[in-house]
């Protein structure tokens, strides 16, 4: 199972919005609304930011939102803040192997 | 509060095996699955496998099939991952994470266990 495709890096200025894409196939991202997104600061444990494609766990800022179109899921962060600078990973269920697959990760830089 | 506490760092020689444990507290251990995810130095997250704790049902990444075994001890609220035939490419931080069954939601993570393989 190949990793989902994410851009290696994105950047934005404070207050701006950015979107990170996560492209898979109709066997994973395209099959179900079962994509989750994780934020990981350097040296820290990953943190759940979005689940079920669009849902936010309690405590996660509403500046974070998720969406999906076809085989591509997206994470949008609005009103960028310095603390948002981190690595972001998408994750999807893979129906053909009853497994999970992660994206390669995207490094977000807040300029 | 939900907590997953993993065992400490391990050093192994190539060809050896390693066991990492993950002790859960603060929730009903048998009502969730536990997944294992690893992260090599400077690299991304990689799914290793999972166990549905209540049933003991396991699934593994095809990449590790035959080399990894995930088990659980419900009386101790602890999950275990054993990886065998280690090579230097298995050097990584290994995380356990809690998963509500039927979702792709890893909602709580352990602190990670560094496994270093070198001769």
Nearest CA in chain A to B61: A99
Confidence of residue B62 (pLDDT cuts 50, 70, 90): very high
Q: Under a CB-based contact definition with an 8 Å cutoff, are residues B20 and B4 in contact?
A: no
- When the pLDDT of each residue in chain A is averaged and rounded to a whole number, the result is 95
Nearest by Cα to A46 from A13, A2, A89, A93: A89
CB pairs under 8 A between A and B: 67
Q: Which residues of A touch B110 (CB under 8 A)?
A: 45
Q: What is the model's pLDDT at position A109?
A: 97
Instruction: List pLDDT tens digits, range B80-101.
Output: 999 999 999 999 999 999 999 8
Termini Cα distance of chain A: 35
- For residues B3 and A23, give the distance between their C-alpha atoms in angstroms, rounded to a whole number: 32
Nearest by Cα to A73 from A49, A96, A109, A97: A49
Q: What is the model's pLDDT at position A97?
A: 87
Helix, strand, coil shares of chain B, percent, nearest 5, are: 10, 50, 40
Q: What is the model's pLDDT at position A2?
A: 82
Q: Above 80 in pLDDT, residue A1?
A: no
């Amino acid at each position: 199972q190949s990793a989902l495709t994410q851009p290696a890096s994105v950047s934005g200025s404070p207050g701006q919005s950015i979107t990170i894409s996560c492209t898979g196939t109709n066997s994973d991202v395209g099959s179900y609304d079962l994509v989750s997104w994780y934020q990981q600061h350097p040296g820290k444990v990953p943190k759940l930011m979005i689940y079920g494609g669009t849902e936010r766990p309690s405590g996660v800022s509403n500046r974070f939102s998720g969406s999906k179109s076809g085989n591509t899921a997206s994470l949008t962060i609005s009103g960028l803040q310095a603390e948002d600078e981190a690595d972001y990973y998408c994750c999807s269920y893979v129906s053909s192997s009853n497994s999970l697959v992660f994206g390669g990760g995207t490094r977000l830089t807040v300029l | 509060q939900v907590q997953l506490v993993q065992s400490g760092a391990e050093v192994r020689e190539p060809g050896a095996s390693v066991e990492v444990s993950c002790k859960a507290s603060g929730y009903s251990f048998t009502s969730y699955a536990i997944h294992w995810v690893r992260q090599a130095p400077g690299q991304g997250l990689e799914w290793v496998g999972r166990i549905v704790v209540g049933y003991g049902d396991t699934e593994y990444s095809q990449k590790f099939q035959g080399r990894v075994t995930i088990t659980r001890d419900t009386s101790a609220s602890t999950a275990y991952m054993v990886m065998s035939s280690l090579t230097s490419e298995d050097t990584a931080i290994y995380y356990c994470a809690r998963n509500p069954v039927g979702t792709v939601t890893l909602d709580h993570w352990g602190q990670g266990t560094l496994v270093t393989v070198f001769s």
